[in-house]
Structures are given as structure tokens and as C-alpha cells.
Amino acid sequence: MRMTTSELIHAAYHAARYLPKASSQLVRELADRLDTTKSALCESLKIRDALAAENLALKEATKNGEVEKHQQTSNGTTIGVKNVIVQREIETPTTDAWVNEQRALGVEMFALMYAEEAIKSNNITTGWRARASREASQYAEQLRGSQS
């Protein structure tokens, strides 16, 4: 019989009661990590589904748009852009949140780099590197705050 993840986690905690202390701690730690991994996976799947839905909406909107003519080539072919891209603002909150998170991670790396430089220069409170690090950290928080 194959157990679900939740059943396996429950069984591991139950079995850990009857094991020697070292083995019990190991089984509990593995069950904790499995539970955490399961939660992270479920959250990732929700984000994936939301991104897929936004992607489908963008594709459908593009498919249904009319071409807005911009110029004509020498052989008479019209070059244009689908007007749905030009004229309509399509909401993509999950995509926007993901992009903002990637930006925030990059800014945090920048902040960490200057924090380390401030420590090396022995000027961790008032130097320009320390100020740059603090400002970058605040900006990363602003990026994350704009996700909602």
C-alpha cells in the first residue's frame, strides 16, 4: 500500500515514539523536512498555476487583437503590432510579483556586497558603503511591498 505524503509524515511521527532517542530525532527531523518541502511545493504549484493562467490570458488577448499598421515594406507587406499589446493594459499580478521578487533579490545581493565592504573598511555605521547597503535593503523591501 502506497501512503500519501501526509500519511507518511503522520506515520513517521508515530513510529518515532518507539525508536531509540537518536533514531527518533532523525526520523522526526526527516518528517519535519518532508512537511516543509510539501508546503513549499504546494505554494510553488499555486504560483505556477497562476502564472500559467496569466500566460494563457495574454496569449488569448494577443490572438484576438487586430494588427495596427505601422509601415509598409517595398513589396507591399504591412508591418504592424497587434493592437491588444499597444492599447490594452492586461493585469498580471502573479507575474509582476515574481518579477519584483527577482529584482528585490538582486538589490539584496548589492546591499550585502556593500555591507561586507563597509565591514572590511571598518566603517559599518556612517560610511557611504554602509549607507548604500541600508538604502538598497530598503529599496528591496519597497519592491516586495509593491507586489500586492
pLDDT digits (tens, 9 = 90+) for 117-141: 888 888 778 888 888 999 999 999 9
- Percentage of residues in the chain with pLDDT exceeding 70? 82
**Which cell is 109 given?**
545581493
What sign for the dihedral angle of Cα 63, 69, 73, 75? positive
pTM over 0.75? The answer is no
pLDDT tens by residue, 17-45: 999 999 999 999 999 999 999 999 999 99
The band of 59, judged by pLDDT with boundaries at 50, 70 and 90, is: confident
Residue 124 confidence (pLDDT): 76
- Provide the total of helices (H) and of strands (E) in the chain, helices listed first: 5, 2
Maximum C-alpha span of the chain? 83
Give the pLDDT confidence of 84-97 residue by residue, as tens digits. Answer: 555 456 788 888 89
Between CA 82 and CA 79 the distance in angstroms is: 10
Q: Choose the weakest-confidence range: 37-41, 75-79, 141-145.
A: 75-79
Close Cβ partners of 38 (under 8 Å, ≥ 6 residues apart): 5, 6, 9
